[in-house]
Structure 1
Amino acid sequence: MTTRRRHRSRTGQSGSPVSGTVRVDPRTKDLTKRLQAGDIAVIDHDDLDQVSAHALVACAPAAVVNAAMSTTGSYPNRGPEIVLSAGIPLLDMVGPAVMEIPEGAVGTVSGDELRVDGQVVARGVRLTEALVASQLQDARANLSSQIEAFSVNTMEYVRAERQLLLDGIFVPTLRTDLQGRYALVVVRGYHYKEDLHTLRPFIREARPVLIGVDGGADALLEQGLRPHLIVGDMDSVSDAALTSGAELVVHAYRDGRAPGLERVEALGITDAVVLPAPGTSEDVAMLLADDKGAELIVAVGTHATLVEFLDKGRQGMASTFLTRLRVGSKLVDAKGVSLLYRSRISTLSLVWLVLAGLLALGVALAATPGGRALFGVLAVRWDDVWAWVEGVFR
């Protein structure tokens, strides 16, 4: 409560009113699937993370209203900064009652208030860039304690999940062949769009097996690429991706429960593979590629730093730590591949090759009677065309 009062006292009442259709969802990633430009996004998201913030910004809402605290101070999350930098007003800490606003109502954000039908339904903190910068500064001061707690949790989970390193996971039979091939594991994480774009030459020439982790499958489809394999609990992947023809591996709990299987079967897909395993779905995808004989595993959008894990609400990284130990030198980050890998044949080289081929063909034709006759006909035609052009301009 002390933190909440301190934030309120430092917030002004400035800001032009903005209006739009209210869209409400406690899960930000679900809301962005139906959020339209000019809408007012109502979320309930403690510590708004970068991925969610970028997804909100991509929808271009008129304003974002958060029932929770966009920055709690536990770690320096950059989500509010990203939203404000896009010029989108962010009304913070308005309370859980705002989640009861009916979907589709017309709302107005004015100062620190949200009005629906002219009535004030919520009041909170109108965030500013200066306030967000101050909150980030305070959060950085708490980072050392977060690192200590994160390390302790990680080591505890490492002891509990050490079999992941020793024995790996049970690998089911797949129809997708990875033996001796490159695998591209795509997670809808940080800078995944930019990384996929820069990897286009690598994908075109190396032809890796494309593995989408949940929403990563949609990221591949957005780039005009069809995933060969989709791994995950199937909660954040579209129906279009699930029915794209990719082989599906449903990540299940250790006891075999697979909540995502029901959704897959409802789409008429009966050959999905259920894989009970500890850890995250991106870890499972890497272990699967490794055990199936992939020669190289390229990771796009995966999580590796402390802030990235805290952004995902995780208090430890045991499975990721163990996975990277097991996969070893096979695993490389997409940014490293894009920096080191260059297309074997540049566009300029192709142009020169075509010109050289045409020149050689011309020389060969000129050495034959038929070729000389052809060039004579072409010369006469060219003279006719040139005379016609001169006549037009005269």
Structure 2
Amino acid sequence: MSQTPASLSDFYEMDEVLSDEETMIRDTVATFVAKEWDPIVGDHFEAGTFPMELIPTIADMGLLGMHLDGYGCAGASAMAYGVACRELEAGDSGLRSFVSVQGSLCMFPIWRYGSTEQKEHWLPRMAAGEVIGCFGLTEPDHGSDPASMTTRAVRRGDSWILNGAKRWITNAGLADLAIVWANTDDGFRGFLVPTDSPGFEARKIQNKLSLRASVTGEFYMDDVEVPESMRLPDALSIGAPLSCLSEARFGIAFGAVGVARCCYEQALSYQLERPQFGKPLAGFQISQIKFADMLTDITNANLQAMRLGQLKEQHRLRPHHISMAKRHNCRVAIDTARTARAMMGANGVSTEYAPMRHAANMESVMTYEGTEEIHGLILGQQITNIPAFR
């Protein structure tokens, strides 16, 4: 049976390894993106807003904390989570970021490092989309070097007093609960901070040229008091927030494949239908070479992502594995988006088509949760056993 142009994006037919449940999740998310997200994303990208009205539907699909067990979470496989991220980010990085931040950066630390009481209180409400979280690690002067954070938490009786600022925080301004990482006299600790706490102030970052269909902000803490019961008891080092980043980077590696696939398929459809000089643009040699290069890159990226899923399910996944895939796949996504935009000519700069929007978004995705260079140094250390960060 011959393949359709769209199905060629899975050139090695890797989705055949998916279980029936994983295939169902893939198709459910893809249908949601096509019917509910794609028709409105251009308007939200221009306005710099996130469609809050879609959160109940996202929660009803079981996507929030979907890879976690218990406490109202779906308990889906690692591969299912990855494939869901792929389909979400094919719609927009802002959509995948919302799901990723809620599940991997906010629910995961409670699930992994929280007390039983914290899990029972917060996780069911977060899985239902009733409580939205944000992850406070990056600071105005500390991004790639989180161990140098200046946010402080000081013990005072049965409470902690938090002071500091966090910046470039997805969902800041929307969130009901902030997962705040701070330096203490005993090292790094994580805290659950309701955003209506006295002394807590969040502001939306304006004038972004990227991730516009996502709310990004900053928050400030001036003597914010939280009880000891709101400290994550098992988060005892900088390794705790870094493990959360590994969970989210896993989703990015899959999501970047969705971006590249979307751009490739839109450029292919466009060129098959647009005639120039007496035949479709897709019939010219230069176009076909570009399609061949894009498809090869997408296939390589998809292979890396799917292998990550297998390793995670086998409990063999390590941070350097994720670094390679995040670094490689984000580069494939942004390069494919730029090539696709050029192949669509002037029409490619319109929000009617996805490549320009995806290219702009990937500038952020290549930066957050570890820049391309930082992940290169993680790989370099793994290769040579010599750290080169300083």
Task: Indicate whether the TM-score tops 0.5.
Answer: no
TM-score class, shorter-chain normalisation, is: under 0.3
Specify which structure has the higher proportion of helix. Answer: 2
Greater radius of gyration (CA): 1
